[in-house]
Amino acid sequence: MSLFTLVVKGGLVVSPQGISLADVGIKDEKVALIAPDIAPDGAKVVDASGKYVIPGAIDVHTHPVYTDDLGGMSVTAAFGGITTMIHYGYVKPGQKVIPTLEWFRDEGLSKSYLDFSLHGGLFDVEHQLEDVPAAFKMGVTSFKVFMTYAKLKWMTDDYWMTALMDVVGHEQGLSMVHAENGLATDYLEDKFNREGRSPVDTFTDVRPALLEAEAFNRAMLVAQVMGSALYVVHNSAEACLEPLRRAQKNGWKVWGETCPQYLTLTKETTLKFKAQAKMGPPLRTKEDNEALWKGLADGSLSTIGSDSAPKAKKVDDDFFAAPYGAPSIETMLRMVFHEGVNKGRITLPKLVEVMCENPARIFGLYPRKGCLQKGSDADLVLIDPTCKEVITASNLHSGAGFTLYEGREVMGATTLVMQRGTVVMKEGELVGKSGHAQYMPTDTSHLYK
């Protein structure tokens, strides 16, 4: 009887510590051995010659509530080299926390191709707060609120944000915020509208970087007072790095995330794609792009998440009425590889650190997820660094029907995606099955030690 079910042979295995020529032996959904020249001894062989072998990427920022549901989002993720997702389970006003999160969990188990966890996304903290401790018992330990979108009635004010951080800190969970000063940005929008200025031309000025940094700083200080760990999603601007670095220097429990769109796109993209590029925070400048790359390289920023919010928008839709968000999960890994690794902004081991290991560590999924070592889930991705692709909506899989990277040429393609020893995507074909997913409770208590 073979020691292995499958052996991935001849690849360059990547970890945050470096790159080595090695084989990966897999048995019973787990990594059983990583070593040079493993004898297959009857096991199935995957030829990884000339390819990088990385742990399956983890996307901790997805919104499966628009054109792509929990099944569709997992399909686009699989084509993008993602093997694990943490979805936002939105609990809207009038909804109860536990039944809503249970629905997301059960829907994911029914439809998803990939393993997943959940965050609680709270829209009415005043009436939902008492149920938060119970969510920890079902493995939901991170809770997000919006500090913006007052006109949409999504904004949580400072009183209830503070109350949430009090409870989350007591439970040793992770508070999460969308950091923009919502009332100030709404004033600017009204002011520019009164002046008759173009909403497309002024969108970045309506939501300026300093008001994102102000909200980041405010959330960070409140979290510190209330004793809560804090995770700030989708940092888009150089201005956000100063309060983040100060907090880290002080030893505060604060982690920062950025997204591929804030690393690779600018406000010129908004001018071109108009309503399709409307997102919050907005796309900013090349200088912000470069500062965020440096933040990843020096460890100030800990993770990259897609913030994929696929919505069926047309370029010339009414900009004010258009919803926020765009599809980004399927293009995330290839854009970070091309613009980051190929262009020398970050190393490939750093990519693995911020897209695989750090997300797993922060949310308590490590070492089951986020790494390739004995006993870890056999989640891995093969990347062919010599393969050239042109990104276009016609070869992507989101129901949104567009991409902000239309026509962009990239070098480096995901050729195989495996979850727990089972191939999910191979050479551009989906070969996995829906319902194969496992729901994974998160655990953030280690952040308090």
Per-residue pLDDT reduced to its tens digit, 42-80: 999 999 999 999 999 999 999 999 999 999 999 999 999
CATH class of 56-365: alpha beta
Stretch(es) of the chain classified as CATH 3.20.20.140: 56-365
Q: What's the rounded Cα separation, in Å, for the pair 323 and 400?
A: 12
pTM of the entire predicted model = 0.97
Domain ranges in the chain with CATH number 2.30.40.10: 6-53+373-385+409-430
- Per-residue model confidence as pLDDT tens digits over 157-178: 999 999 999 999 999 999 999 9
Rounded average pLDDT over 96-125: 98
Give the position of tokens 């040429």. 409
pLDDT tens, residue by residue, 365-405: 999 999 999 999 999 999 999 999 999 999 999 999 999 99
pLDDT score at 435? 87
How many whole angstroms separate alpha carbon 172 and alpha carbon 229? 8
Judged against a pLDDT cut of 70, whether residue 1 lies above it is answered with: no
Which residues, other chains included, contact 345 with Cβ-Cβ below 8 Å and sequence gap of 6+?
290, 293, 294, 296, 297, 339
Taking all residues of the chain, what is their mean pLDDT, rounded to a whole number?
Answer: 97
d(CA 355, CA 65): 23
Per-residue pLDDT averaged across 115-144, rounded?
98
Contacts of 105 by beta carbon, 8 Å cutoff, 6+ apart: 89, 118, 138, 439
User: 2 pLDDT band (50/70/90 cuts)?
Assistant: confident
Residue 275: its pLDDT value, please? Answer: 98
Structure tokens at 257: 């995330």
Mean pLDDT, range 101-119, rounded to an integer: 98
Angle at CA of residue 182, ends 140 and 73, nearest 5°:
40
**Tokens matching residue 187:** 């004033």
Q: What number is the average pLDDT over the span 109-123?
A: 98
Which parts of 142-214 are beta strand (E)? Answer: 142-146, 174-178
CATH for 6-53+373-385+409-430 is 2.30.40.10
